[in-house]
């Protein structure tokens, strides 16, 4: 069975100029220009260098922007979170964790990681996330757990703890979802192979995602424990002075 | 029958309310920014319909709107002076937290668990669309609406207060909220202009194709590098697969297709953890959590990403290659 390459259509001659769009992105991020502006300029540069007429390019930008509206639905969580924060949600989450002696920083992060990965493996990816669970719940709880270690946590360590919450959510999501057979990535892989004459059972693909899922859990758990150990070490060196 | 457009119209209403709030506070750049976005969300369905009937004019107007949004973002005029920490407000929050206690968790948890319950109920709901992805978004929309009503009732706040709080969070997110949509747009432009083909072409021409090790290295690091550039492993996968995976690894070196596909995609995910181009995972959370470093999330996850990259590469090496 000779696989046929159908997705990539090699133009003759190959036009390499649109690659400058990639260079715009790299340069723009390197000089810390506004990312929104950099991304739009990169799209325009790439389109013009590929010889797209300006009306077609504008229509392409407009159509694709409209087609990705689903990415902004997280906006709808903001009124609830804003109202609850004004009513003391973060303060309550912090007080709750401060009272619970069994909830150390590492245990909190590892428990969240396990939950997030397990839910993703069942295909329930949308029920947690940065706006829904990390900002209102996980981050203030982790901050409170870190304050139990060191009552005067400095701003840099506070940011490090919050960033670790976001990282834990990402890793739980990414390395859980591929184990779910109806997830887009598995269907994308299966669909790509099917187009090229290789027929696979989605289960055989998602099975191969399981070892990496376990490795991700182990690695991120170890890093949560290391963060906790570092904060404890810092506290002890304060105390020694 | 519920349609996904209703959820987008809800977003449009919220954006318009925030735009009006910014207008009354004389933050004109922010008012224009959220106002344009509200108009795009309101008219999005009509734009898609017109495009399907070969009328490109509405889409072109959106294209111009997107460029204007980028210019407003780039001008720096969106920056809103954060309110100084108000001790009276902090005392009120502590008092309210003590009074409401665990009840405060109820509306917050209503969003995830409401979405979950509605998703599970999908097979029994005649008014739901069959598409699972769309249904999840509708479920999220309904859950958010229910949670907002619960929060209004619990905190005895007025809807106006909800707009004030949303505007505060939205202006803190600022242009970062828009970045995921802009990057999806950029990915489509790159695809339409053959950027992926050019990269696959360059890589395939640069490696010694008779060596399985060289091909596997090029495939794995190509997945990471292309995901870093595009911000999305889904965009990298077909390109690297068609350029290297299928013709060289499977065609010439007889790699195991299922393992190569799954582990190749997961290798790309390691790239997602490393790039600001994956805005909704790395940049938006940094803004949401008000980190001082916009790359703080990437800084927190690069050690995990590199460790997982090593794991994936070892698995590819031992299991995907014959």
Domain positions in chain A: 1-67, 72-240
Confidence band, pLDDT 50/70/90 cuts, at residue A25 = confident
Which pLDDT belongs to residue B207?
Answer: 86
The one-character DSSP state at B167 is: H
Which pLDDT belongs to residue B230?
Answer: 82
pTM for this predicted structure: 0.85
CB contact under 8 A, B229 and A25: yes
pLDDT in tens, chain B (322 residues): 778 889 999 999 999 999 999 999 999 999 999 999 999 999 988 898 898 888 889 999 999 999 999 999 999 888 777 677 788 888 999 999 889 988 988 998 888 888 888 877 877 777 766 676 678 788 889 999 999 999 999 999 999 999 999 998 898 888 888 888 898 888 888 888 888 778 778 877 888 888 999 999 999 999 999 899 888 888 888 888 888 888 889 988 999 999 999 999 999 999 999 998 888 899 999 999 999 998 999 999 999 999 999 999 999 999 988 8
Residues B157 and B208 in one domain: no
| The domain boundary residue, chosen from B177, B212, B234 | B177
Residue A20 at interface with chain B, using a CB cutoff of 8 Å: no
**How many domains does the structure of chain B reveal?**
2
Which pLDDT belongs to residue B120?
Answer: 79
B41 vs A30: CA distance, rounded Å: 32
Q: Tell me if B210 sits within 8 A of B204, measured CB to CB.
A: no
Residues B154 and B199 in one domain: no
Residues B205 and B102 in one domain: no
Residue B118 at interface with chain A, using a CB cutoff of 8 Å: no
Residues B74 and B213 in one domain: no
Question: Is B288 within a domain?
Answer: yes
Distances (CA, A) of A139 to A46, A49, A112: 39, 44, 11
Question: Is B86 within a domain?
Answer: no
The one-character DSSP state at B247 is: I
Quick: pLDDT tens for A111-160.
Answer: 999 999 998 888 777 778 888 889 988 999 999 999 988 888 899 999 99
A112, A116, A122, A123: CA torsion to nearest 10? 160
Residue B42 at interface with chain A, using a CB cutoff of 8 Å: no
Residues B213 and B143 in one domain: no
Residue A175 at interface with chain B, using a CB cutoff of 8 Å: yes
Residues B223 and B112 in one domain: no
Question: Is B184 within a domain?
Answer: no
Confidence band, pLDDT 50/70/90 cuts, at residue A1 = very low
Question: Is B13 within a domain?
Answer: yes
B90 vs A68: CA distance, rounded Å: 38
Neighbours of B306 (CB within 10 A): 15
Distances (CA, A) of B196 to B203, B273, B277: 11, 20, 16
C-alpha of B118 from chain center: 22
Residues B154 and B217 in one domain: no
Residue A63 at interface with chain B, using a CB cutoff of 8 Å: yes
Which residue has 């008012």 as its token pair? B31
| The domain boundary residue, chosen from B124, B151, B177 | B177
Quick: pLDDT tens for A212-234.
Answer: 999 999 999 999 999 999 999 98
Question: Is B186 within a domain?
Answer: no
Question: Which residue would you say has higher pLDDT here, A1 or A202?
Answer: A202
Among B267, B247, B269, which Cα is nearest to B314's? Answer: B267
Interface of A with B in 104-123 (CB under 8 A): none
Residues B48 and B112 in one domain: yes
In A, minimum Cα distance to B112 occurs at A127
Question: Is B85 within a domain?
Answer: no
Neighbours of A105 (CB within 10 A): 25
Residues B111 and B31 in one domain: yes
Q: At what angle do helices B179-192 and A54-67 cross, to 10 degrees?
A: 130
Q: Tell me if B73 sits within 8 A of A37, measured CB to CB.
A: yes
Which class for B229: exposed (0-12), middle (13-18), buried (19 or more C-beta within 10 A)? buried
| The domain boundary residue, chosen from B177, B208, B230 | B177
Interface of A with B in 130-169 (CB under 8 A): 130-137, 139, 155, 159-160, 162-167, 169
Average pLDDT over chain A reads 86
* Parent domain of B281: 191-320
Which residue has 């000779």 as its token pair? A2
Residues B213 and B251 in one domain: yes
Determine what percent of chain A is predicted with pLDDT higher than 70.
93
Residues B173 and B195 in one domain: no
Distances (CA, A) of A8 to B47, B171, B207: 29, 41, 18
Residues B197 and B74 in one domain: no
Confidence band, pLDDT 50/70/90 cuts, at residue A12 = low
What backbone torsions phi and psi does residue A229 show, to the nearest 5 degrees? -65, -40
Label each residue of chain A as H, E or C. Answer: CCCCCCCCCCCCCCCCHHHHHHHHHHHHHHCCCCHHHHHHHHHHHHHHHCCCCHHHHHHHHHHHHHHCHHHHHHHHHHHHHHHHHHCCHHHHHHHHHHHCCCCCHHHHHHHHHHHHHHHHHCCCCCCCCHHHHHHHHHHHHHHHHHHHHCCCCCHHHHHHHHHHHHHHHHHHHHHHHCCCCCCHHHHHHHHHHHHCCCCCCHHHHHHCCHHHHHHHHHHHHHHHHHHHHHHHHHHHHHHHC
Measure in Å the smallest separation between the Cα of A55 and chain B Cα atoms. 7
């Amino acid at each position: 069975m000779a696989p046929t390459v159908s997705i990539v259509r090699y133009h003759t001659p190959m036009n390499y100029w649109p690659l400058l769009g990639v260079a715009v992105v790299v340069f723009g991020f390197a000089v810390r220009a506004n990312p929104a502006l950099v991304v739009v300029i990169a799209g325009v540069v790439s389109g013009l260098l590929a010889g797209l007429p300006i009306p077609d390019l504008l229509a392409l930008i407009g159509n694709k922007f409209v087609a990705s509206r689903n990415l902004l639905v997280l906006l709808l969580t903001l009124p609830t979170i804003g109202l609850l924060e004004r009513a003391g949600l973060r303060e309550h989450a912090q007080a709750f964790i401060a009272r619970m002696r069994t909830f150390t920083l590492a245990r909190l992060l590892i428990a969240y990681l396990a939950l997030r990965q397990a839910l993703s493996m069942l295909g329930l990816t949308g029920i947690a996330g940065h706006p829904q669970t990390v900002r209102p719940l996980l981050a203030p709880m982790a901050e409170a757990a870190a304050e139990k270690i060191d009552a005067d946590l400095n701003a840099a360590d506070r940011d490090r703890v919050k960033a670790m919450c976001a990282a834990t959510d990402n890793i739980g999501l990414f390395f859980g979802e591929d184990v779910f057979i109806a997830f887009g990535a598995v269907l994308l892989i299966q669909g790509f192979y099917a187009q090229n004459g290789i027929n696979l059972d989605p289960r055989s693909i998602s099975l191969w995602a399981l070892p990496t899922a376990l490795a991700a859990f182990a690695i991120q758990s170890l890093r949560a424990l290391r963060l906790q150990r570092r904060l404890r070490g810092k506290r002890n060196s304060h105390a020694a002075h | 029958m519920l349609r996904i457009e209703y959820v987008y119209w809800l977003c449009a209403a919220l954006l318009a309310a925030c735009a009006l709030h910014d207008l009354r506070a004389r933050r004109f750049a922010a008012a224009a920014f959220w106002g344009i976005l509200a108009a795009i969300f309101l008219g999005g369905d009509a734009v898609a319909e017109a495009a399907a009937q070969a009328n490109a004019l509405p889409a072109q107007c959106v294209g111009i709107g997107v460029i204007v949004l980028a210019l407003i973002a780039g001008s720096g005029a969106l920056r809103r002076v954060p309110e100084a920490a108000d001790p009276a407000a902090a005392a009120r929050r502590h008092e309210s937290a003590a009074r409401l206690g665990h009840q405060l968790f109820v509306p917050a948890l209503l969003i995830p668990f409401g979405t979950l319950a509605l998703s599970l109920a999908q097979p029994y709901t005649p008014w739901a669309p069959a598409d699972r992805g769309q249904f999840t978004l509708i479920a999220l929309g309904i859950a958010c609406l229910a949670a907002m009503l619960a929060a209004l009732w619990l905190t005895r706040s007025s809807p106006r207060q909800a707009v004030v709080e949303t505007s505060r969070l939205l202006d803190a997110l600022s242009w970062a909220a828009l970045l995921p949509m802009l990057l999806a747009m950029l990915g489509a432009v790159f695809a339409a202009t053959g950027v992926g083909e050019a990269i696959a072409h360059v890589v395939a021409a640069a490696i010694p194709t008779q060596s399985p090790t060289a091909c596997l290295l090029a495939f794995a690091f190509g997945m990471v590098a292309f995901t870093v550039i595009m911000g999305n492993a889904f965009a990298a996968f077909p390109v690297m697969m068609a350029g290297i995976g299928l013709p060289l690894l499977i065609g010439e070196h007889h790699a195991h297709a299922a393992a190569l596909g799954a582990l190749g995609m997961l290798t790309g995910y390691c790239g997602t953890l490393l790039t600001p181009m994956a805005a909704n995972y790395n940049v938006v959370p940094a803004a949401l959590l008000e980190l001082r470093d916009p790359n703080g999330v990437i800084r927190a996850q690069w050690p995990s990403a590199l460790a997982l990259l090593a794991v994936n590469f070892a698995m590819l090496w031992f299991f995907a290659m014959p």
